[in-house]
């Protein structure tokens, strides 16, 4: 999954990798010799020595089967232990350590471009390290290789000692990659082949890499004028989550920064920093591809909330897709000064997938949020409490909520809730400040669909939005209904 950030919007595109995999199923026969309790060999039957030979053979078969079972169990336990130790974590959450890596294939930047990029990276990572804490990876970080890529077939018979392990290498396999970035062998765990289904013989294809010390998340950053950047000049950056640990927490991702904005005369450092924070949040978990991995388990206590993945996101009665997780609902209650129990955070509908899921907040409700589908000018963008509460609900982070910034947008909904008996408005309330109303009698006035009275912007800075042209015709009335409809029971 990749994400695109634009000056006025986002675009997402699914990335699917076709994998051809061959399976070898090994079927083993089980032979058992039965002797009746009162059996006595006669001259016409087996001799005593032949009977003992059969008994010895049976004992050997039984012993061999027992040894295979022990071997299979021990190898299974060793594999699980190695998987846990690869991402072995400390008990106490500490500030997240995000390391960046410039791929070898990245183009050489000018001194000005490199300085601007490095400064933005430093500020974005510093910001996130002040907000998020994790149980740190205590060993060097090593990423997994994809067995479906380096392996030609896998032992699939569950009775095999080497069940689910690679039986033959794929000679065409060369490198691991993510979003067009080649992952160095030094960052990857090794891969081996078990030529026989029940023998411990191992052939090493690639040894373990050196790994990355003091790293909880690795971000590959490439500044380049890619096809996606050239196709739409408003695209500033896009990103992808590449790999997670055994708990589902993302440990690697790729961020592509479109090169052209780094050299323009109107370059904005703050805008680039906010763009990178936005993309980092996608990689760290705010993604429609990762919603189903959220656990709801708090790192600050042993308590866990019940998050049903099937009910985290669903459509309300007005057709709006919403995210329903405990801390998000609590943050919305505070922001909108309401106790409506069915209040979920609305998701953007413009970049939704076939399920209706989006990786952005709906800007009509949460404009100005760092995770809205439209980033405004830097002075209006906020790392808001609702977004940080969503990170809490992933279960992967201890979130420093004191770093949350107040949204300037959304307070108009409080007024609408107070006035809902006096006028009609549509379920998806939206409003916009207009520069021509930023002075004089109607100072900071906002226009809301379906409402003909006066509502004022909560802050005069909203008048700085670029979309400030006066509408050419009156706003159409919207359908009646409450702004927060009860959620579906399905």
pLDDT tens for the chain, 490 residues: list them.
Answer: 555 554 433 333 333 333 333 333 232 333 333 333 343 444 334 444 444 554 454 454 455 554 554 445 455 555 545 555 555 556 789 999 999 999 998 999 999 999 999 999 999 999 999 999 999 988 999 999 999 999 999 999 999 999 999 999 999 998 999 999 999 999 999 999 999 999 999 999 999 999 999 999 999 999 999 999 999 888 899 999 999 999 999 999 999 999 999 999 999 999 999 999 999 999 999 999 999 899 876 666 544 455 544 468 878 877 888 999 999 999 988 888 777 767 889 999 877 777 778 899 988 888 899 999 878 889 989 999 999 999 999 999 999 999 999 887 665 444 444 434 333 333 333 444 444 444 443 344 444 444 444 444 444 444 444 433 333 333 333 333 322 222 333 3
Is 164 within the bounds of a domain? Answer: no
Rounded distance, CA 454 to CA 419, Å?
11
Same domain, 37 and 110: no
Same domain, 233 and 305: no
Is 25 within the bounds of a domain? Answer: no
Q: Which of 284, 309, 329 is the last residue of a domain?
A: 284
End-to-end CA distance of the chain: 28
Is 339 within the bounds of a domain? Answer: yes
At how many degrees (to 10) do helices 385-394 and 326-336 cross?
170
The predicted model scores a pTM of 0.69
Is 158 within the bounds of a domain? Answer: no
Residue 396, Cα to own-chain centre: how many angstroms? 11
Query: Binding residue per annotation — 418?
Result: no
Same domain, 110 and 44: no
Rounded distance, CA 81 to CA 85, Å?
6
What pLDDT does residue 335 have? 86
Same domain, 355 and 422: yes
Is 168 within the bounds of a domain? Answer: no
What pLDDT does residue 78 have? 53
Determine contact, residues 359/282, Cβ cutoff 8 Å: yes
Q: Which of 223, 250, 284 is the last residue of a domain?
A: 284
CA dihedral 111, 114, 116, 117 (to 10 degrees): 170
Same domain, 60 and 109: no
Rounded distance, CA 388 to CA 399, Å?
7
Rounded distance, CA 84 to CA 247, Å?
9
Domain that holds residue 262: 2-20+87-147+176-189+204-284
Q: Which of 230, 260, 284 is the last residue of a domain?
A: 284
Is 153 within the bounds of a domain? Answer: no
Same domain, 402 and 316: yes
- Write the CATH number for 209: 3.10.170.20
Same domain, 300 and 278: no
Same domain, 417 and 322: yes
Rounded distance, CA 88 to CA 134, Å?
12
| Residues in Cβ contact with 303 at an 8 Å cutoff, skipping those fewer than 6 apart | 297
Determine contact, residues 189/144, Cβ cutoff 8 Å: yes
Is 247 within the bounds of a domain? Answer: yes
Domain count, the chain: 3
Same domain, 266 and 412: no
Query: Binding residue per annotation — 436?
Result: no
Is 259 within the bounds of a domain? Answer: yes
Q: Which of 176, 279, 289, 348 is catalytic?
A: 279
Same domain, 73 and 91: no
Same domain, 446 and 357: yes
Q: Is 279 a catalytic residue?
A: yes
Q: Which two tokens mark 187?
A: 């960052």
What pLDDT does residue 427 have? 33
At how many degrees (to 10) do helices 385-394 and 269-284 cross?
30
Same domain, 111 and 227: yes
Query: Binding residue per annotation — 187?
Result: no
């Amino acid at each position: 999954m990749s994400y695109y950030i634009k000056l006025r919007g986002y675009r997402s595109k699914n990335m699917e990798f076709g994998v051809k995999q061959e399976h070898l199923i090994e079927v083993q026969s089980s032979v058992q010799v039965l002797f009746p309790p009162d059996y006595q060999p006669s001259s016409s039957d087996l001799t005593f020595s032949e009977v003992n030979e059969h008994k010895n053979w049976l004992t050997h078969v039984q012993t061999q089967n027992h040894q295979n079972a022990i071997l299979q169990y021990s190898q299974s336990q060793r594999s699980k232990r190695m998987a846990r130790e690869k991402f072995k974590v400390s008990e106490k959450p500490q500030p997240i350590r995000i390391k960046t890596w410039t791929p070898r294939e990245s183009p050489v930047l000018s001194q000005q471009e490199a300085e601007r990029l490095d400064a933005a990276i430093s500020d974005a990572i510093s910001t996130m390290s002040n907000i998020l804490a994790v149980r740190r990876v205590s060993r060097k970080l090593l990423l997994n290789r994809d067995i479906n890529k380096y392996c030609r077939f896998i032992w699939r018979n569950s009775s095999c000692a080497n069940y689910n392990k690679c039986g033959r290498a794929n000679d065409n396999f060369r490198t691991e990659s993510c979003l067009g970035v080649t992952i160095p062998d030094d960052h990857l765990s090794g891969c081996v082949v078990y030529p026989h289904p029940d023998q411990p013989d191992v052939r090493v294809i690639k040894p373990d890499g050196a790994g990355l010390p003091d790293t909880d998340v690795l971000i590959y950053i490439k500044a380049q004028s890619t096809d996606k950047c050239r196709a739409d000049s408003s695209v500033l950056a896009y990103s992808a989550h590449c790999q997670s640990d055994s708990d589902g927490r993302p440990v690697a991702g790729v961020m592509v920064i479109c090169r052209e904005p780094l050299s323009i005369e109107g370059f904005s450092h703050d805008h680039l920093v906010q763009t990178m924070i936005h993309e980092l949040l996608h990689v760290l978990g705010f993604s429609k591809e990762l919603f189903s991995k959220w656990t709801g388990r708090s790192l600050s206590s042993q308590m866990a909330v019940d998050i049903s993945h099937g009910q985290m996101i669903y459509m309300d009665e007005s057709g709006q897709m919403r995210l329903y997780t405990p801390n998000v609902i609590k943050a919305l209650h505070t922001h909108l000064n309401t106790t409506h129990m069915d209040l979920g955070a609305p998701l953007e509908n413009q970049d939704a997938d076939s399920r209706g899921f989006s990786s952005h907040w709906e800007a009509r409700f949460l404009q100005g949020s760092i995770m809205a589908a439209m980033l405004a000018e830097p002075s209006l963008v906020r790392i808001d409490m609702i977004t940080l509460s969503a990170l809490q609900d992933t279960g992967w982070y201890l979130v420093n909520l004191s770093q949350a910034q107040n949204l300037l947008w959304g307070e108009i909904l409080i007024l609408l809730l107070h006035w809902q008996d006096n006028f009609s408005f549509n379920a998806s309330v939206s409003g916009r400040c207009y520069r021509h109303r930023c002075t004089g009698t109607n100072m900071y006035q906002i226009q809301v669909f379906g409402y003909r009275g006066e509502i004022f912007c909560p802050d005069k800075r909203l008048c700085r939005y670029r979309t400030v042209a006066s509408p050419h015709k009156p706003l159409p009335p919207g359908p009646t209904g409450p702004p927060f409809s009860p959620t579906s029971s399905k």
